[in-house]
């Protein structure tokens, strides 16, 4: 795709409220190695924010910092401030299980639990006490699958294993699982990279629909995908946030030479 085509695909949307996530001067280390260097960024509801940049530049590392998934990596250390609705998520009083329900995550490789389709969705709401009884739980399962665009395909086989679904269906199941606990933010780390073009198109459509309700952050190595699904794009390079702005500006009129070089395919 040409640069101009990339740009015309992207809509300009202005934030209507305070940022959902505010990150200020965030650095992430693995042992002595700095993987993210002093990154500041705001993420908004009703926006899809794309993180782009060459492999190894820190996109996944920074994404994981946004819901404290880096806590699970022994050598990882996060500096700086990350606020969710103004509250520091790294403060000692933060309930990390609760945080990860509010800031859900979808991974590169679909990872449904080896349980029924129903259980994949019901598990989270049950442990978070979101349903009073079976009827309410059923309703959450149905609503979540509907929002993830999967209900019609699975409603007659909810007791079958989630792992028996196709790759694209599994990824929508994982999105439904994230939705089921009523998140505010959904983080997606290259959610389509294991999917074929048709399944990818479905996920992209879904992301656009979900945007109205959640703040969505998607890491993608595809600039076409960033242009198709996002309103904001952040370009990372060697652990730095080089440039962040409207997706249409990043792809047509970047401020930084490094961004220009990347989007025109000079390195990557």
Ligand X SMILES: Nc1ncnc2c1ncn2[C@@H]1O[C@H](COP(=O)(O)OP(=O)(O)O)[C@@H](O)[C@H]1O
Is residue 55 within the footprint of ligand X (CB under 6 A)? yes
Report the C-alpha gap between 250 and 187 in whole angstroms.
21
45, 49, 60, 248: which one binds ligand X (CB under 6 A) = 60
Is residue 60 within the footprint of Mg ion (CB under 5 A)? yes
Is residue 75 within the footprint of ligand X (CB under 6 A)? yes
Is residue 200 within the footprint of Mg ion (CB under 5 A)? no
Q: With CB cut-offs between 5 and 8 Å by kind, which of Mg ion, ligand X, none does residue 171 bind?
A: none
Q: With CB cut-offs between 5 and 8 Å by kind, which of ligand X, Mg ion, none does residue 57 bind?
A: ligand X
Binding string, residues 1-40; x marks residues near ligand X by CB under 6 A: -----------------------------x----x-----
73, 127, 139, 164: which one binds ligand X (CB under 6 A) = 73
Report the C-alpha gap between 236 and 36 in whole angstroms.
9
Is residue 72 within the footprint of ligand X (CB under 6 A)? no
Q: Tell which positions 108-137 bind ligand X, by CB under 6 A.
A: none
Per rule CB under 6 A, count of chain residues that contact ligand X: 12
* CB of 186 closer than 8 Å to CB of 214: yes
Q: With CB cut-offs between 5 and 8 Å by kind, which of ligand X, Mg ion, none does residue 30 bind?
A: ligand X
| CB-nearer residue toward Mg ion: 73 or 139 | 73
For ligand X, the binding residues (CB under 6 A) are 30, 35, 53, 55-61, 73, 75
For Mg ion, the binding residues (CB under 5 A) are 60
């Amino acid at each position: 795709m040409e640069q101009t085509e990339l740009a015309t695909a992207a809509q300009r949307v202005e934030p209507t409220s305070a940022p959902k996530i505010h990150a200020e001067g965030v650095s992430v280390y693995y042992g002595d190695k700095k993987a993210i260097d002093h990154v500041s960024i705001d993420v908004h509801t009703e926006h899809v924010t794309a993180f782009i940049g060459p492999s190894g530049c820190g996109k996944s590392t920074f994404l994981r910092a946004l819901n404290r998934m880096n806590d699970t990596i022994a050598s990882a250390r996060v500096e700086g401030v990350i606020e969710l609705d103004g509250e520091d998520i790294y403060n000692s009083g933060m309930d990390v299980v609760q945080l990860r329900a509010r800031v859900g995550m979808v991974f590169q490789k679909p990872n449904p639990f080896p349980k029924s389709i129903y259980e994949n969705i019901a598990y989270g709401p049950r442990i978070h006490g979101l349903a009073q009884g079976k009827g309410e739980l059923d309703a959450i399962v149905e609503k979540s699958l509907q929002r993830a665009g999967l209900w019609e395909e699975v409603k007659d086989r909810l007791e079958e294993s989630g792992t028996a679904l196709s790759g694209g269906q599994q990824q929508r199941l994982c999105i439904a699982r994230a939705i089921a606990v009523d998140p505010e933010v959904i983080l997606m780390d290259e959610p389509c990279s294991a999917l074929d073009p048709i399944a990818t198109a479905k996920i992209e459509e879904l992301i656009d629909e979900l945007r109205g309700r959640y703040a969505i952050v998607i890491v993608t190595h595809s600039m076409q995908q960033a242009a198709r699904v996002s309103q904001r794009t952040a370009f990372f390079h060697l652990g730095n946030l080089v440039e962040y702005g409207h997706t249409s500006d990043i792809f047509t009129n970047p401020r930084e030479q490094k961004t220009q070089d990347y989007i025109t395919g000079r390195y990557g």
